[in-house]
Structure 1
Amino acid sequence: MSITSALSSALSGLSATSRQAEVLSSNVANATTPGYARREVQLGAAVLAGTGQGVAVLGISRDVDQFLINERRLSQAGDGERSTTATFLGRVEDAIGLPEEPGSIPARIAALERALIEASGRPDVDARLAAVAASAQSLAAGLNTASQDIKSARATADRDIGTEVDRLNGALGQIHELNTELRSFSAAGYDVSALLDQRQKLIDGVAQIVPLREMPRGPNQVALYTLGGVALVDGTAVVLGFTPTNTITPDMTQASGALSGLTVNGRAVDTAGIGSPILGGKLAALFAIRDDLAVSAQGRLDAVARDLVERFSQSGLDPTLAPGAPGLFTDRGLPLVPTDEVGLAGRLRLNAAVDPAQGGALFRLRDGLGAVTAGPPGNGSLLVGLGQALSAARPLASPGFIAGSRSLAGLMADVLSDTATRRLGADSQASFTAARLSALSDLERQDGVDTDQEMQMLLVIEKNYAANAKVIQTVSDMINTLIGLGS
């Protein structure tokens, strides 16, 4: 080997080890940076005219396990879906409340039943009649509040859908732009590791909203498809469309056109069912809350409200009532229309005839809602009948429940049991997906930057650098010696 070749080889070694030290320092500095993938300098022999000329830096590689990343992304989507669902069902359960909780709907039903029993024993005591009115008012207010909570959750889901769709559109557009930049920079020979990290982070964000598959498309190019086979990014980025609704009422549905669906490049797509391209992610869970879970929860509350209204307005219970007149509970002061049950829990009101605050009189609880003047104060037969109507087992007129006769308390217990079962199931699924996501994330971090290993490699790089520097120093000494011989 000539002196020139030795010097060239040593200089290339210095350049390569310097690049290795630079990449290694970046690895250590970003050891805890989310989305950062460990870099490694790829080296190869430099050959000129068939002769070795030292070492060449072939490029910078990112150390990633794509299979593990794909599995983690699917777990992210599942975690987003199930935690969102579990949170909503927990909110519904809280709105109803447990029987032992003061202010819960079951507790308010029990309070009305006690008040009727106490008032029927002493119908001449106005305080006991007032307790009946207050308990009935409280029960109506409890159903109103629970209905409002579900309505609010449904409106929140609709707003969140709009937010997530905007996030998706923004992320997909940026991923497409990064694909374009990566194509250009890769062709120019630049290190594109930072751009690849940025793109991976964006794809991770998309995977939290919609489960997807990443497919390679040439050097440093990717395409994204939903599990349902709809392209999100492949050459170009799709545009998702959704229009939030300012105010949502219980009767509004996507099927009726009152609520917005989802479009992909202007084409409507299913938001539920096995044919939905968004199935399995947070976006699907939000649509399920708005269009299914909240509607179902509202329907169960409306069934309780209807049963309550019909119990106190049944024929023969109060002989002072005119045919078709509302009983103790009303639909905003009007009789119940069976075909207008949707949203009844939010419209339930105490009959103004027994509410002194609305110009009514307490004696009508004892003498009849249609009574003009007070009757004998010791007559408690109507109060006894009201109490029996509340606790009697009767068939349910509303659809969607298991056939059979129940008391109002029994019906409410069934509603609460069904809600709790759904919530417990959702919590169990959410816990499983969260544990799986945590395990996969831990595995991914284990494949990340190991600072101990990086420090060991730094020692090797230091020795290599010193060795190449020693070669240069030796060549320099040789040249100086040769110059000295010639002088």
Structure 2
Amino acid sequence: MTISGALSNAMSGLRAASSGAEVVSSNISNALTPGYARRILSLSAQSTGGVGGVQINGILRIVDAGLASDRRNAEAEQVNANSRAQFYTRFESLIGTPDDPASLSARLAGFESSLISAASRPDAPERLTTSVGAARDLAASIREASAGVQAARGQADQNIAGMVDELNLALEQLATLNAQITSLQVQGGSIATLQDQRQQVVDRIAALVPVREVPRDNGQIALYSTGGAVLIDGTAAVIGFEPVNLVTPYLSLADSTLSGLTINGQSVRTDSARGALRGGALGGQFAVRDEHGVAAQAQLDTLARDLIERFEDPAVDPTLTAGDAGLFTDNGAALDPLDQLGLASRLSLNAAVDPQQGGEAWRLRDGINAATQGNVGDATLLQNLSQVLNDPRPVAGGGFGGQAFGAMSLAATLASDIGVERTSAEQVLSFATSRLTELTERQLADGVDSDAEIQRLMLIEQAYAANARVIETVDEMMQTLLRM
């Protein structure tokens, strides 16, 4: 080997060692940076024109694409499950558990107890007033539960609007990064940093909508939702959504009073079974607004209808005739069987028996339509009211299967169903969280290992010292030749 060849080899080794140290330093400093992928320096033997040495081929970004995709989809599944679990936890708190004195079951039991107490002393005005107050509180608790369900739907609608804005922004950023990566790659520059930034954007998108990443020419990528929608392939899709100011029981996606989604101006499905963007945070909010919330309202409406029907029967209160409102009303009117939607939000106590609305509590004993007080010792109507509260009656709608329930058993069944839904949602969430944790740990293990990087740095230091020693030896040889 010639002196010049040895010097060339050593110089290329120094350059490789210097570049390797930079790569290791970058890995260690970004070990905890989200989206950062471990780098390694790609080297090969240089043998151009009879000159040896080390050739730097470039910096490789080490990513397990399959593991990254699984981790992203696991995160989407986790946030979707969390939306469902949060809704049913909230719904259960609105209804209350049986041991909660403010629960719906407790209110109903309190109303029944007050009727029994009043029937034992029908002449006691304070007992009648207590029964009226218990009935008022019962109606109010059902209205409050309905309002809470609609508030959850309204919050979901606002969340959807924010998520759509975030998704559109992320897709625009992804298109920009795709173009920048292509440009820099053509120029021969390192694209690893831009790929890290793009990975972070893809992760943000995937939390909203589960995606499949497809490589394209010149370093670009395309994204497709697992529901089959094209999010970006060259150009970014534009997602459209129109929020409303207030969600009520009468607004729904089915009758077009609530907005769905559009992709590039074309309407797409949003349901959890076949929605184009189902499965992530965005799909979870649509499920709360259009599925879980609607089903919860239907259950409350069924409960309200059952309560109204029980007490507007002339066989229970002889002062009533067909079409008259009973103890519980639809905003003061009798029940319209064809207008059940939103009934829970309109449930109210008949003004005729409510002193707060100008009525008289004694009508609870003598009849809703009684013009004057009757026999103060007659507890027949109060006993009828107490009995009808627990008479089994067929219940239509609300997912109760058309079975016969007493009012107490219907409320207990509703609370039980909600508890089952919450438990199921929490189990799904627990599994999704465990899966996400496991995949995240596996991805982190595949990332930067600080101990391994320190060992690599020590080897680089040795290589640098060896090449420096070669240069020092060549210098000594040249000095010796010059002195001869």
Could you tell me the TM-score, scaled by structure 2's length? 0.97
- Name 2:43's counterpart in structure 1: 43
Q: Decide which moves more: 400-409 or 250-259.
A: 400-409
- Name 2:193's counterpart in structure 1: 194
SS of residue paired to 1:47: coil
- Name 1:136's counterpart in structure 2: 135
Aligned length: 484
Q: Distance in 1 between matches of 2:316 and 2:326?
A: 9
Q: Distance in 1 between matches of 2:354 and 2:400?
A: 33
Q: Distance in 2 between matches of 1:272 and 1:251?
A: 19
Q: Distance in 1 between matches of 2:334 and 2:480?
A: 115
1:197-248 CA deviation, whole Å, 9 max, x = no partner?
Answer: 1111111111111111111112422111112322111111111111111111
- Name 1:29's counterpart in structure 2: 29
Contact 2:301 2:398 in 1 (8 A): no
C-alpha change, 1:398 and 1:473, in structure 2 (3 Å) is closer
Q: Write out aligned runs for 1:108-127 (5 A).
A: 108-127=107-126
- Name 1:318's counterpart in structure 2: 317
Q: Displacement, 1:399?
A: 6.0
- Name 1:63's counterpart in structure 2: 62
Q: Decide which moves more: 370-379 or 456-465.
A: 370-379
- Name 1:176's counterpart in structure 2: 175
Q: Distance in 2 between matches of 1:153 and 1:320?
A: 41
Q: Distance in 2 between matches of 1:341 and 1:451?
A: 64
Amino acid paired to 1:9: N
- Name 2:11's counterpart in structure 1: 11
- Name 1:385's counterpart in structure 2: 384
Q: Decide which moves more: 364-373 or 271-280.
A: 271-280
Q: Distance in 2 between matches of 1:255 and 1:351?
A: 33
Q: Write out aligned runs for 1:64-463 (5 A).
A: 64-272=63-271, 274-398=273-397, 400-463=399-462
Amino acid paired to 1:39: R
Q: Displacement, 1:319?
A: 2.1
- Name 1:483's counterpart in structure 2: 482
Q: Distance in 2 between matches of 1:5 and 1:452?
A: 36
Q: Displacement, 1:163?
A: 1.0
C-alpha change, 1:60 and 1:215, in structure 2 (3 Å) is same
Q: Distance in 2 between matches of 1:144 and 1:289?
A: 19
Q: Distance in 2 between matches of 1:481 and 1:310?
A: 114
Contact 1:45 1:55 in 2 (8 A): yes
Contact 2:8 2:51 in 1 (8 A): no
Q: Displacement, 1:441?
A: 0.5
Q: Decide which moves more: 394-403 or 16-25.
A: 394-403
Contact 2:13 2:54 in 1 (8 A): yes
Q: Which runs of 5+ in 2 are unaligned?
A: none
Amino acid paired to 1:14: L
1:81-129 CA deviation, whole Å, 9 max, x = no partner?
Answer: 1111111111111111111111100110000000000000001111111
Q: Distance in 2 between matches of 1:93 and 1:219?
A: 53
* CA RMSD in angstroms, aligned pairs only: 1.3
1:409-435 CA deviation, whole Å, 9 max, x = no partner?
Answer: 111122122222222111111111110
Q: Displacement, 1:155?
A: 0.6
C-alpha change, 1:68 and 1:399, in structure 2 (3 Å) is closer
SS of residue paired to 2:47: strand
SS of residue paired to 2:52: strand
1:6-57 CA deviation, whole Å, 9 max, x = no partner?
Answer: 22221111111011111101111111112111111111222322x1331121
Q: Decide which moves more: 435-444 or 411-420.
A: 411-420
Contact 1:45 1:52 in 2 (8 A): no
- What is the aligned-residue identity percentage? 46
Q: Decide which moves more: 455-464 or 373-382.
A: 373-382
Structure 1 runs, 4 residues or longer, greater than 6 Å off: none
C-alpha change, 1:462 and 1:397, in structure 2 (3 Å) is closer
Q: Distance in 1 between matches of 2:397 and 2:425?
A: 26
Contact 1:77 1:280 in 2 (8 A): yes
Q: Decide which moves more: 251-260 or 116-125.
A: 251-260
Q: Which runs of 5+ in 1 are unaligned?
A: none
Q: Displacement, 1:309?
A: 0.6
Q: Decide which moves more: 352-361 or 116-125.
A: 352-361
Q: Distance in 2 between matches of 1:288 and 1:447?
A: 35
Q: Distance in 2 between matches of 1:28 and 1:397?
A: 65
Contact 1:182 1:192 in 2 (8 A): yes
C-alpha change, 1:96 and 1:399, in structure 2 (3 Å) is closer
Amino acid paired to 2:64: D
Q: Displacement, 1:322?
A: 4.4
Amino acid paired to 1:363: W
Contact 2:301 2:342 in 1 (8 A): yes
Q: Distance in 2 between matches of 1:147 and 1:274?
A: 26
SS of residue paired to 1:56: strand
Q: Decide which moves more: 106-115 or 243-252.
A: 243-252
Q: Distance in 1 between matches of 2:317 and 2:170?
A: 64
SS of residue paired to 1:448: coil
Q: Distance in 2 between matches of 1:424 and 1:117?
A: 36
SS of residue paired to 1:52: coil
